[in-house]
Chain A
């Protein structure tokens, strides 16, 4: 059993479990699944700076911060109690491509060469960590939601604007991963 839990879980177990978050939040208290809203609540709580977009009672949304706290705690439990002892299995052609950029560490879920303090002080690492984070925060709010709010909650409720957003998420990802990221990783 433990071994079964330790190995990477297949998509057909993970996907439906994630889908069940939607009715769980709705039925527990009429809450709509959407994680990027917390980035906005952080702005509203810490530095609203007189911007109308951040002038609201963020305390009403405190449930979402609890939800995020749960994600952090759950991830901690998974990493401590049922860790996967093996290296992350990565598609061989991706491994080969990454090796060309000097990225060979796939012991954990993130490549150590990119996600480390040392990397933060390189041009490549700064673009990925600081630049990437900025685009995530700016883009999700501009789009009115992220993968959870649009792609899972929005599509579950058959909202066509969410389908537009999801298609653009994927389009942006394809363009970045295939045409721009290779140049950044070469830096």
Chain B
């Protein structure tokens, strides 16, 4: 089902989830739950790269923000470039998913949250030396103290949800 169709049916679930979430695709085919293991496999590769390239290191993040190392700029820059080329190819050749669905993209709407929220996240990123992905990888490595950060991050997300209507967007 396409986005416009969904909007026409005014699916409230869809509408609530599109409030600044990233993943809003409604995949039409219904699969058994264990199909989700394919995402686990992709996550595993990601986790290995996170650890081996030291992206989860507090030191690497501090070096990045102090312009003391090129490493993180190289990682993010080449990741974005690879992603851009991939998305361009998918759009250009109308490459379908492995289940034959058309790949959908959703334009992001600008709001002031990207400015204020972005700045707040930046503060947290420099303090903890981790964005959400690396936090989970650090737990895998065995740094269980990171669970405190994750719980606190969930609390932060909940607080945002609570005050959402009163914040400038």
Contacts and interface: CB of A to CB of B under 8 A. Distances in A.
B48 A34 contact: no
Interface residues of A, number: 136
A78 B144 CA distance: 16
A161 B169 CA distance: 13
A172 B35 CA distance: 39
Nearest to B74: A11
Nearest to B31: A29
Given A8-B54, A67-B40, A94-B62, A137 B131 contact: no
B74 A37 contact: no
Q: Which of A28, A74, A161, A170 has the most CB of B within 10 A?
A: A74
B153 A137 contact: yes
Contacts, number: 522
B52 interface: yes
Contact of B157 (A11, A74, A137, A149): A137
Contacts of B27: 29-31
Interface of A: 5, 8-40, 42-43, 47, 49, 51-57, 60-64, 66-79, 82, 84, 88, 90-91, 93-94, 106, 108-111, 114-117, 119-120, 127-162, 164-178, 180-181, 184
A162 B88 CA distance: 17
B131 A148 contact: yes
B6 interface: no
Interface string B59-85: 111111110111111111111111110
Nearest to A133: B152
Interface string B104-124: 111111110111111111111
B118 A139 contact: yes
Contacts of A119: 145
B157 A63 contact: no
B43 to A, nearest CB: 2
